[in-house]
Amino acid sequence: MMERQRRRLWHGIQIVIILVAALVMLVPILWIVLASFKTHVDVYQLKLFFWPTLENFRIVFDEPYRLGHKLFNSVIVATVTVILAIPIATCAAYAFSRFHLMGQTVLLVMILATQFVPAVVIVLPFFVLFRDLGLLDTRLGLILVNLSLVMPFAIWMIKGFIDGIPLDTEEAALVDGSTRMQVIRNIVLPLAAPGLITAGIFCFIIAWNEFLFALIITTKEAVTLPVGLALFKGEEGDLWNLLSAAGIIIMVPMFVLALIIQKHFVQGMTMGAVR
């Protein structure tokens, strides 16, 4: 009896902890959603019931904010980054996973070490380099920067997934006369697809939310959504209703993407965790 009561008590404590954690995470999102439909006056009042307006969403797409242009830049930069990063990272990860390369461990550690370099340390060299190459304030410049950010992460992540694929399957296909490219196309890629999708999701999120490099190397034509949020200021201070509306526009693609590919995402994370 005492054991059953302890289990019920512990179960109740777990539920309370989960509810508190969910509340901590969801309340800010709820506040942003509500504020995006409030007027500039109502946004400073703690009112759950108010007359909603869609005017904020119209204003952010008009001059001088031009959020539509920034949304287009973010979509192009993040999408192209993923399209380029995943194939290149897959080839590198496969080479590290299946071949014995000279200095392989050192190379992998060096790739991982780039993730620990603070972005503020390398942003100035990128600025000087892009200035000399004429890539300042261009989408191409942002794509190259994002590739340098996501490639180490993608290589390590995809390598973990490929390591989990049985080597016997590939060796049997090679013995049957398949070429290495056929093995990769017909065996490795289908089996590693959930992992590739998972890596692509994370790469897209990193590129979508990148702020510092976009702030430094863009000024007008290639400004992305995170940088565009800094524009919502007026004589009366921060325009929280417009900031909230823009924040919703930034978050919605992430939520939609997560809902569409959540099955592959969970499968990929599970596959990468099993050895």
Cβ partners under 8 Å of residue 76, min gap 6 = 139
Q: What would the pLDDT profile of 188-222 be if each residue is shown by its tens digit?
A: 888 888 889 888 988 999 999 999 999 999 988 88
Question: CB 274: neighbour CB atoms within 10 A?
Answer: 8
Closest listed residue to residue 149, CA positions, set 195, 193, 89, 197 = 89
The DSSP bridge partners found for residue 234 are: 237
What mean pLDDT is predicted for residues 247-270? 72
| C-alpha distance from residue 101 to each of 97, 182, 264 (Å) | 10, 22, 31
What mean pLDDT is predicted for residues 246-264? 79
Percentage of the chain surpassing pLDDT 90? 26
Q: Read off the pLDDT band of 174 (50, 70, 90).
A: confident
pLDDT at 85 over 80: yes
- Given this model, what pLDDT does residue 108 score? 86
Q: What is the pTM of this model?
A: 0.84
Position of tokens 């390369």?
101
What mean pLDDT is predicted for residues 84-109? 89
For Cα atoms 268, 151, 178, give the angle at the middle one, nearest 5 degrees.
65
pLDDT at 275 over 50: no
pLDDT at 143 over 50: yes
Cβ partners under 8 Å of residue 57, min gap 6 = 36, 245, 249
- Given this model, what pLDDT does residue 151 score? 93
pLDDT at 4 over 90: no
For Cα atoms 71, 74, 76, give the angle at the middle one, nearest 5 degrees.
110
- Given this model, what pLDDT does residue 235 score? 66
Closest listed residue to residue 158, CA positions, set 80, 86, 82 = 86
Average pLDDT of the residues of the chain: 85
269: helix, strand or coil: helix
Q: Read off the pLDDT band of 71 (50, 70, 90).
A: very high
What mean pLDDT is predicted for residues 44-60? 83
Structure tokens at 190: 């289908």
What mean pLDDT is predicted for residues 235-257? 83
Position of tokens 């093995």?
183
